[in-house]
Structure 1
Amino acid sequence: MTLIARRSLLAGALLAPALAGAQSAYPGRTVRVINAYSPGGTADVVCRILFARLSERLGQSFAVENRPGAAGTIAAQAVARAPADGYTLLYDATAHSVNPALFGSRLPYDTRRDLLPVFLAMVTPNTLMVTNGFGPRTVPELIAHAKANPGRLDCASTGIGTVQHVSLELLNHRAEIRINHVVYREIAAARNDLTSGRVPMQFSNVPSTLPVTQANQARCLAHCGPAPIAQLPGIPGFAETLPGFETWEWNGVFTPAGTPGEVITRLNAELNATIRDSVVIERLTGLGALTRPNTVEEFAAFRDQQTEFFTGMVRMANIRID
């Protein structure tokens, strides 16, 4: 062995414990959590609940930074280009699995290659809210009403290709009806028009539905889950009329590709512990945000399944962003 080789071997031997110690000490400084959505929405509320508790658990700050826009792609691109050291995380939601089909080659990153799944933070079924004065009271009545009035009913969403839009297109397809998609730029405007009666319907999710129905500003006609939802007693699922009808909103945590496996494993373990915390359980349950323990591999498989579903829906409904 040459002198240079012996020195390189010695340097590697001395460096290895230092690297191992640095990884075991993670996080050693503030971690940025870039949230792809606006303050106050479901993704923001759940994100802050989880990372506030995680900060307490680990004794290090996980600072949430909202960076909304372009269906989550602005935040995702920023994280995809960030150093792969575990100190910049992405908190993304359902649009993450829609965007590859929606934007195609215009997407400024490769979702699967550039962003690694860490933890599935929550899932929640979508819901269909209607104005208090809306005539149909059940899914069969809604379908019959839509068939009797083709193209005369409107349904709000906050954007083309959103899960709310996809839920509407799935309903149109499965029930063989035509309800118009009305796009709003922000959730507040859509909600105001729903509660005032300007637009009769809006797909939403359980956490966003509860405060509106509890205030008697609108009512929930049905949900998109496969089983009864405790927070929506007596509200039927679309699947009771249209078997297999399911759409979900989900939130998850990602890191840039190249992040050390030890860091991802630690984050997954600590986030799993966080959702088992009694205070976190109470707060998320009250919101209607469902959690479940999950491994990195399980979340990766879930992302692939959701991406496949939304790709099929985007093609079936010919959803396009011009």
Structure 2
Amino acid sequence: MGQDTRLGRRLLAGLALAAPAIARAQGRTTRVINAYSPGGTADVVCRILFAALGARMGQGFAVENRPGAAGTIAAQAVARAPADGATLLYDATAHSVNPALFGSRLPYDTQRDLLPVFLAMVTPNTLMANLDFPARTVPALIDLAKSRPGRLDCATTGIGTAQHVSLELFNHLAGTRIAHVAYREMASARNDLTAGRVPLQFSNVPTTLPLVQAGQVACLAHTGPAPVGVLPGVPGLAETLPGFETWEWNGVFAPAGTPPGLIRELNAALNAVIAEPATLERLTGLGALTRPNTVEEFAAFRAQQIEFFAGMVRMANIRID
């Protein structure tokens, strides 16, 4: 019997035990406070997961979008919520950037006050270009950028985001000076990219995929270490710039003090959900990569991401007002 089969059976067995315990602990619909706006990648993936979890468990999970301040508004609300399993946080990559970006101004301690429950998905970042942009490969882009230092612009969805960090890492490894243009939300950045007002944009796979499929942009590269199935033929930046790797990720968190048994039950239940063929198909089609993970594995991943982004914030001297 393979390891995956054994793991799947353990997760299903854990789920059978989890549902009654979670229901007893909560006794009401669970609030899932999402740190991002409706319609974005984090919102779409969150709703897929918790709709499937609710159907499997026969219990309500109400997703409440509470965006703002790079996710800190939602995170603070959950950090201060009762530790009874009735309130969860759905957060993303900014969760691991904010400790370095805000420092002592952060109104909670990320690793102390918010406990990892489940790593929901990871996805590489992507580098898109307007269809009229003359460079269609990474080496050609580097040559062009070096010939026009500071004169090429690249859009992202904000200062300190994974996309911003990807641009700074690109400039560092390639020896270029592509200028950062920060947008408040994805729609404006996408519109300016497709209209040619900005030539380049770092994004993520789920956001890039429909634009590529519609023939609206060219995807020059992605930031993962392996081919991305939904973007066939798109190379990794590491093929030109060895060691280049950045990710966006989503995860579920609970307030500090939540009983460990309850956290493990939720982890087992969510692992079972991502193993369901219908859920897996929807997430894979978006370019949202999933993998089984324990509470400990997610905690280690978060710690590694916090360390990585802290180094990038220092290296690029990224500041937020």
Which residue pairs with 1:76 in the alignment?
Answer: 75
Q: In 2 relative to 1, CA 139–277 (structure 1 residues): closer, same or farther, beyond 3 Å?
A: same
Which residue pairs with 1:255 in the alignment?
Answer: 254
Which residue pairs with 2:4 in the alignment?
Answer: none
* Partners of 1:92 and 1:252 within 8 A in 2: yes
Which residue pairs with 1:303 in the alignment?
Answer: 302
Which residue pairs with 2:314 in the alignment?
Answer: 315
Which residue pairs with 1:87 in the alignment?
Answer: 86
Report the Cα distance in structure 1 between the residues aligned to 2:89 and 2:256, rounded to whole angstroms. Answer: 12
Matched letter for residue 105 of structure 2: R
The answer for unaligned runs of 5 or more in structure 1 is 1-20
* Partners of 2:129 and 2:217 within 8 A in 1: yes
* Partners of 2:23 and 2:59 within 8 A in 1: no
Q: In 2 relative to 1, CA 256–286 (structure 1 residues): closer, same or farther, beyond 3 Å?
A: same
Report the Cα distance in structure 1 between the residues aligned to 2:169 and 2:298, rounded to whole angstroms. Answer: 24
Report the Cα distance in structure 1 between the residues aligned to 2:306 and 2:105, rounded to whole angstroms. Answer: 17
Give CA-to-partner distance per residue, 1:25-51, whole Å, 9 cap, x none. Answer: 344320000000000000000000000
Find out whether 1:58 has 2:49 as its counterpart: no
Report the Cα distance in structure 2 between the residues aligned to 1:250 and 1:139, rounded to whole angstroms. Answer: 24
1:201-216 alignment runs, 5 A limit: 201-216=200-215
Give CA-to-partner distance per residue, 1:73-124, whole Å, 9 cap, x none. Answer: 0000000000000010000000000000000000000000000000000000
* Partners of 1:28 and 1:60 within 8 A in 2: no
Matched letter for residue 253 of structure 1: V
Report the Cα distance in structure 2 between the residues aligned to 1:147 and 1:44, rounded to whole angstroms. Answer: 38
Report the Cα distance in structure 2 between the residues aligned to 1:141 and 1:26, rounded to whole angstroms. Answer: 57
What is the SS of the residue equivalent to 1:127?
A: strand
Q: In 2 relative to 1, CA 281–82 (structure 1 residues): closer, same or farther, beyond 3 Å?
A: same
Report the Cα distance in structure 2 between the residues aligned to 1:155 and 1:26, rounded to whole angstroms. Answer: 48
Report the Cα distance in structure 1 between the residues aligned to 2:81 and 2:183, rounded to whole angstroms. Answer: 32
For this pair of structures, how many residues does the alignment match? 302
**What TM-score comes out, normalization by structure 2 length?**
0.93
Which residue pairs with 1:287 in the alignment?
Answer: 286
* Partners of 1:27 and 1:60 within 8 A in 2: no
Which of 1 and 2 has greater Rg?
Answer: 1
Which residue pairs with 1:12 in the alignment?
Answer: none
Which residue pairs with 2:191 in the alignment?
Answer: 192
Find out whether 1:107 has 2:106 as its counterpart: yes
Report the Cα distance in structure 1 between the residues aligned to 2:255 and 2:293, rounded to whole angstroms. Answer: 20
Give CA-to-partner distance per residue, 1:302-321, whole Å, 9 cap, x none. Answer: 00000000000000000001
Report the Cα distance in structure 1 between the residues aligned to 2:51 and 2:289, rounded to whole angstroms. Answer: 18
Report the Cα distance in structure 2 between the residues aligned to 1:35 and 1:208, rounded to whole angstroms. Answer: 18
Backbone CA RMSD of aligned residues? 1.0
The answer for unaligned runs of 5 or more in structure 2 is 1-19
Report the Cα distance in structure 2 between the residues aligned to 1:54 and 1:22, rounded to whole angstroms. Answer: 15
Find out whether 1:157 has 2:156 as its counterpart: yes
Which residue pairs with 1:148 in the alignment?
Answer: 147
* Partners of 1:163 and 1:247 within 8 A in 2: yes
| Post-superposition offset of 1:22 | 6.1
Matched letter for residue 53 of structure 1: A
Find out whether 1:241 has 2:240 as its counterpart: yes
Give CA-to-partner distance per residue, 1:214-272, whole Å, 9 cap, x none. Answer: 11111100000001111000100000011110010000000000000111011000000
* Partners of 1:146 and 1:153 within 8 A in 2: yes
Report the Cα distance in structure 1 between the residues aligned to 2:292 and 2:21, rounded to whole angstroms. Answer: 27
Percent identical residues: 78
Report the Cα distance in structure 2 between the residues aligned to 1:259 and 1:25, rounded to whole angstroms. Answer: 14
Which residue pairs with 2:16 in the alignment?
Answer: none
Find out whether 1:139 has 2:119 as its counterpart: no
